[in-house]
Amino acid sequence: MIEFFHQFLYVPIYNLLVFLVGIMPGGDIGLSVIVATLIVKIIIMPLSLAAVRTQKMMKIIEPKVKKIQEELKDDKEKQARELFAVYKKYKIKPLASFLTLLIQIPILISLYWVFSTEILPQADLSLLYSFVHLPASASPLFLGLFPVAASSIALALIAGLSQLVQAYVAIPLPPAPSKDAAASMQAEFGRALALQARFIIPILIGVVAYTSGAIALYFITSNIVMLLQEFIVRQGKLPELAEEDR
């Protein structure tokens, strides 16, 4: 598995980054990190958009799903058939987000792996393809201000804030719990998860981003792309819950 990561993900992304440094003004490594992240995100964007759409549709059909689960709680087989019929009707693939995540994880790990190493100017020539050459110059300062290989408190804070904004937009806070004990417990659990995603994860991202400016730029770029995906999906017309399913 490690060999697969190295040969088919790490090395290509490494070469992409070195190539980009060679064509960036002043050999800006920070700009190269941003462009490399954008290229990978654009490649997997169709999958990401599908996952976001599935997430939104699952929220739309949630009342119908809860109704089926409650009415058929003693007949799991029929419950599964009814749920499958609802998913098919609204063209929802429940495993879409999970499969998309599985596809993205190796790519994201490789990106993180590349950006967390001493990429330039001490490039590993043994990893470079024959058509990729060592840049004539490489600037370790993003825009001449922020260190890429070293820690940057400013970029780490921006990474954390961008994650906070992304989580606020993408993760709605569930309504307050009802008086029903079981429903209240489930709602409270959902609210707790949403709150953690909104506030704890941005703090963790900020801490991880402080390890290097390159990692921070990766997170900042990724969060901006995810916000763009949210905007695209929201601009598209999603079907409403049919009257008979309300």
pLDDT of residue 26: 87
pLDDT of residue 120: 60
pLDDT of residue 179: 54
pLDDT of residue 230: 83
What CA–CA distances, in Å, run from 230 to 4, 53, 154? 32, 9, 26
Give first-to-last CA distance, the chain, whole Å: 47
Identify the segments of the chain with pLDDT beneath 70. Answer: 1, 96-97, 104, 117-122, 172-194, 239, 242-246
**Residue 189, Cβ neighbours under 10 Å: how many?**
12
b/e burial code for range 119-145 (CB count within 10 A of at least 16 → b): bbeebeeeebeeebeebeebbbbbeee
Two tokens at 10? 């790490």
DSSP secondary structure string, 70-108? Answer: HHTTT-HHHHHHHHHHHHHHTT--TTHHHHHHHHHHHHH
In DSSP terms, 142 is beta-bridged to 146
Q: Locate tokens 């009802």: which residue?
A: 178
Cβ–Cβ under 8 Å, residues 182 and 66: no
pLDDT of residue 172: 66
12 preceded by cis ω (within 30°)? Answer: no
**Residue 4, Cβ neighbours under 10 Å: how many?**
10
Q: Model pTM?
A: 0.78
Give residue-wise pLDDT tens across range 25-64.
888 989 988 998 899 888 888 877 777 777 778 778 888 8
Cβ–Cβ under 8 Å, residues 161 and 168: no
pLDDT of residue 117: 67
pLDDT of residue 174: 58
